[in-house]
Amino acid sequence: MRSTILSLTILIFSSAIVSSQNMINDDSMKWMKGWTNFDPNHEAYPEADEDIPTIIDQDFYLTNDAVYLMSGNVYVTNGATLTIQEGTIIRCATEIETSLIISRGSKLIARGLNGQPIVFTSSKSPRARKSGDWGGIIIAGSGTINSPSEAGIIKGDFLPQYSLYGGNNDDEMTAIMTYVRIEYAGKKVNRSKELNGLSLYALGKESILDNIMISYSADDSFEFFGGKANMHNLISYKAKDDDYDFTLGFQGELYNILAVRHPYISDVSGSYAIEIDGYDKKLGITSKGLSSVNIKDATLINLSDSSNYQHTNAAISSKNLARLNFTDSKISGFANVVKFDKSYTSYATLEKSFSLENSIFNVHDVNVLVQLEPKSEAQKLLKYNMFTTQFRNVADFFEKPLDAKNPKFILKQSRDTYTVMQ
C-alpha cells in the first residue's frame, strides 16, 4: 500500500513537472512559421517583369508566374475584384507615390498560403530598403463609421472619385487577405497626410483577414477607420508609429496578434503598440457607437533593456472614451501598460472602458497613467493579473527575442512563477 501511494505521489509530481515544462516551452506562436520574414532587407527578391495598370476597372488577376511592378497609385474601381494568386510578389516603386487603393464597392482577394505568402515589398535592392519606401494598401468599404456624415474621404493625395468610404453595409465582404506580407510601406505624404502599411476604412464584417505581417512601416502598421471585423494572426514588426490604431467607431475582435517595437524607433508625436480613439475628436461624438475592441492572446513587446528603456512609452493609449478588453496577453518592455486621456472622468468610467485579464506585464514605471485623482485608484484596473516586481530586459523575459532571422517571443518562465496583483 505504501509502495502504491509512493508511486502515485511520484507520478503526480512528475506530471506536474512535465506540465510546468510544457507551459514554459509550449510554442504558442507556431502560426508564425512558414510565411513570415523578420529580416526582409536581406531577401533577394526577383526583379519585376510585368507592370500593374494604374486603373483596374474590371476583374483582374495577378498570377505567381510573374513578378509585378506597382508604379504609381493603382486604383481598383467600378466594382471590380483584384485577385492575387498565392506566392505572388509585387515590387513597389519608391521614386513616385505608390499605393494600392481598393475603392468602395470593389474587392481585394489575396489568398496566400503557408509556404507561399503574397508579398508586397520595396523595389529597392537588398540592404537598401527602408521604412516608407512606398505608400501602402488602402481598402475602402461601405461599413458604418462613427461620424456625423455617413461617408468620409481616405487620407492622402488620391483621386477624389475613388476616395470615398463608409455607408451602412456592415455585412459587406470588402476583402480577403490571408498569408500576406507588407514590407517598407507607410510613406509620409506630408505632416498631416501619412499612409499606413494597411489602412482599413469601414471594413465589412464578412471580410477575412488573417496571417498578415507588416514590417518596417514608416507610419502605423494597421489602422482601422470604423467598420466591423474580426481578425487573427496579425504581426506588426518595428513600425515607426503605432502598431494597431483604431478610430471612428471600429468594432471587432483580434486574436493572436504580435507587436514588436524598438525603443529607438518612434514617431515624434509618440507611438504605441495599441492606440484607440472612441471617436474622432475633430468630428465629434455621435450615436453610432464608440470604438470597442476585444483582443485575446496579444504579445506586445518593446525590445528594451536597462540601457534604453527610458525611451519607451506606454504599450496602450486609450482616448475619447474608447473601450478595450484584453485577455491571455503578454505586455513587456514599455514604460506603462496603459495611458488614458482626460475623457475618462471617473474610475467607474475606466472600469467600464478597459479590462486586462489573465495576462502578464513587465513595465518600468507606474502601471496605469491617468489624469484622475487619486491616481492610485486606477491601478486596480490590473488586479488579478501577473507582473514582474522589477523591470526585466527583453532577453531575460523571452526566448530569443533578438534573433535577427528567427526570433522567439515565448516566456522563459511559466506565468505562475510571477506575482499576482491583488
Please, what is the average pLDDT of the chain?
A: 91
Task: Express each pLDDT in 114-173 by its tens digit.
Answer: 999 999 999 999 999 999 999 999 999 999 999 988 899 999 999 999 999 999 999 999
Q: Hey, what's the cell of 189?
A: 505624404
User: Picking from 56-60, 102-106, 262-266, 352-356, which range would have the lowest pLDDT averaged per residue?
Assistant: 262-266
pLDDT score for 6: 40
- List all residues 6 or more positions away from 249 whose beta carbon is below 8 Å from its beta carbon: 144, 145, 146, 147, 226, 278, 279, 286, 288, 289, 290, 291
- In-domain check, residue 162: yes
Side chain identity at residue 63, one-letter code: T
- In-domain check, residue 18: no
Could you give the CA distance from residue 391 to residue 214 in angstroms, rounded to a whole number? 28
pLDDT score for 9: 38
Helix (H) or strand (E) holding 213: strand 208-215
Torsion of CA 370, 375, 379, 381, to 10 degrees: -60
Helix (H) or strand (E) holding 108: strand 107-111
- In-domain check, residue 4: no
pLDDT score for 23: 37
- In-domain check, residue 11: no
- At residue 303, does pLDDT exceed 70? yes
pLDDT score for 54: 97
Total structural domains in the chain?
A: 1
What would the mean pLDDT of 209-228 be, rounded to a whole number?
97
- At residue 381, does pLDDT exceed 60? yes
Could you give the CA distance from residue 81 to residue 293 in angstroms, rounded to a whole number? 29
pLDDT score for 192: 61
Query: What contacts 24+ positions apart, CB below 8 Å, involve 400-406?
Result: 401/260, 401/301, 401/303, 402/303, 403/38, 404/38, 404/39, 405/38, 405/39, 406/38
Backbone φ and ψ of 382, nearest 5°: -100, 10
pLDDT score for 366: 95
pLDDT band at 409 (very low <50, low <70, confident <90, very high): very high
Pick left, alpha or beta for residue 240 (phi over 0 → left; psi -120 to 50 → alpha; otherwise beta): alpha
Grid look-up 510601406 returns 185
- In-domain check, residue 2: no
- In-domain check, residue 364: yes
Q: Which domain holds residue 228?
A: 51-420
CB neighbourhood size of 28 (10 A): 14
Helix (H) or strand (E) holding 164: strand 164-165
What would the mean pLDDT of 169-179 be, rounded to a whole number?
96
Grid look-up 496579425 returns 234
pLDDT band at 191 (very low <50, low <70, confident <90, very high): low
pLDDT score for 15: 39
Supply the CATH number for residue 386's domain.
2.160.20
Could you give the CA distance from residue 299 to residue 171 in angstroms, rounded to a whole number? 29
Q: What angle do CA 319, 274, 209 make, to 5 degrees?
A: 120
What would the mean pLDDT of 371-388 be, rounded to a whole number?
90
Could you give the CA distance from residue 49 to residue 51 in angstroms, rounded to a whole number? 7
What would the mean pLDDT of 390-408 be, rounded to a whole number?
95
Task: Express each pLDDT in 4-40 by its tens digit.
Answer: 444 443 343 333 333 333 333 446 689 999 999 999 9
Q: pTM to 2 decimals?
A: 0.93
What's the burial of 253, exposed, middle or buried (CB within 10 Å: 0-12/13-18/19+)? middle
Q: Hey, what's the cell of 111?
A: 489568398
pLDDT score for 3: 45
What's the burial of 10, exposed, middle or buried (CB within 10 Å: 0-12/13-18/19+)? exposed
